[in-house]
Structure 1
């Protein structure tokens, strides 16, 4: 599967940022307190996380522009978690202001990149480069917008985004397993190289949602092995070393 080009990724980042900002703009103070799709998190927690990861990724790029690397979150994982808990209960206006400021900061950082070289500058996130950070922010914005339970669920995810998730989340396939994902009307894709083969068929968005630990919204998933229906296999946790912990 081919990753998006920097130009295509930049367009997707702007699109995803617009979607989450437009969604947040509709919330009342009561809406913010309502549960999200993530256990134990309100919509306020999700919005606090989104502004936090936007600022954190902007910070990666700002330091990379000077040939420096810095940990993703100021204060590490502890700092991230505390900031989310503190900000989760803020008013709707405060959430909107913080989210929009974080998104603007991140998009400015990506918009200012110097061609191909800028996208390949090293960052601390996963020991990768700026392109990896852009893909991570894309995942964060799209998936957590769905987690807000406000009408933009996994059924709205693009084919390109779903195929990117297949590639990134192949790390969740347990050793010894091989998943043959068979999206409706599309070519099959093998994930993992174990000897136990399970076919996962359904709409591409349902398969991607399941791999991402989300509830498939169209109810089309089916697992089979040797032509017999079986339970969906257990997946490993999200790839380690990432802020995408939920």
Structure 2
């Protein structure tokens, strides 16, 4: 298991931001309105969401530095959705400018942290700044794949996949236990129920499946009591923004 520290998390954030901006730099004017890998969302929706989460995390850090707290998005989940819909139709030039500004703001905020700063409380998931950094890392890496430009989950690093195994263990249904067997790497068990399913395949395919994305290498296999079975159903992605009715 690879341990993520504030120092290497900052490096990962910068690397992931470079990937996203690199993809945006190669898009054409009409590409932003083309469908993404997310149902019902264009690439413009994905880019707008990346900007939104980057600015939201930067705001969490701004308030944490003053010993204050604020909700992740203005208006909660509904506010998040409204902002994405309003920005999704922007021109390519607007998307690129917004993306550059949002990522620069977030990276500056994380880059300015001292050691105690990483442990400052934030509203997001009732955690600390380090948790917010991990969340932004997930958003950047996964949504880079969601843009659907040929850079899929097969490009995800081992540290990132292993982080997803930990974070997405919350998707294991009650009463179940998954034994993850990435090819050539140690097994990892998630969940604590009595019904065991073994999920074997390439590391990135297992991580993609857990993240609700399409495995790109076609290597996944599920077994229970040594018999082949269908891949188990997963619980919803653990929500970071409360949904209000």
TM-score, normalised by the number of residues in structure 1: 0.97
Q: Any unmatched runs of 5+ in structure 1?
A: none
Mapped to 2, the partners of 1:158 and 1:241 lie a distance apart of 23
- What RMSD in Å do the two structures reach over aligned CA positions? 1.0
Mapped to 2, the partners of 1:97 and 1:79 lie a distance apart of 22
CA contact (8 A) 2:153 2:215 kept: yes
Mapped to 2, the partners of 1:220 and 1:67 lie a distance apart of 47
SS in structure 2 opposite 1:198? strand
CA contact (8 A) 2:6 2:130 kept: yes
Residues 95-244 of structure 1 mapped to structure 2, 5 A cutoff: 95-114=95-114, 116-242=115-241
Which stretch has the larger CA shift, 42-51 or 25-34?
A: 25-34
1:52 equivalent in alignment to 2:49: no
CA contact (8 A) 2:199 2:223 kept: yes
Mapped to 1, the partners of 2:88 and 2:55 lie a distance apart of 16
User: 1:12-63: per-residue Cα shift (whole Å, max 9, x none)?
Assistant: 0000000000101111121101110000000000000000000000000011
Mapped to 2, the partners of 1:187 and 1:242 lie a distance apart of 33
Mapped to 2, the partners of 1:92 and 1:2 lie a distance apart of 37
TM superposition outliers: structure 1 runs of 4+ over 4 Å:
none
CA contact (8 A) 2:173 2:234 kept: yes
TM-superposed CA distance for 1:241, in Å, is 3.1
- Seen in structure 2, the aligned counterparts of structure 1 residues 242 and 42 have a Cα distance that, compared at 3 Å, is same
1:76 equivalent in alignment to 2:83: no
TM-superposed CA distance for 1:92, in Å, is 0.3
Residue of structure 2 in register with 1:42 after alignment? 42
TM-superposed CA distance for 1:74, in Å, is 1.5
CA contact (8 A) 2:76 2:241 kept: no
User: 1:126-166: per-residue Cα shift (whole Å, max 9, x none)?
Assistant: 01000000000000000000000112110000000000000
SS in structure 1 opposite 2:144? helix
SS in structure 1 opposite 2:197? strand
TM-superposed CA distance for 1:79, in Å, is 1.2
CA contact (8 A) 2:19 2:144 kept: yes
TM-score, normalised by the number of residues in structure 2: 0.97
User: 1:166-220: per-residue Cα shift (whole Å, max 9, x none)?
Assistant: 0000000000100000000011100101111000000000000000000000000
Aligned residues: 242
Mapped to 1, the partners of 2:27 and 2:195 lie a distance apart of 46
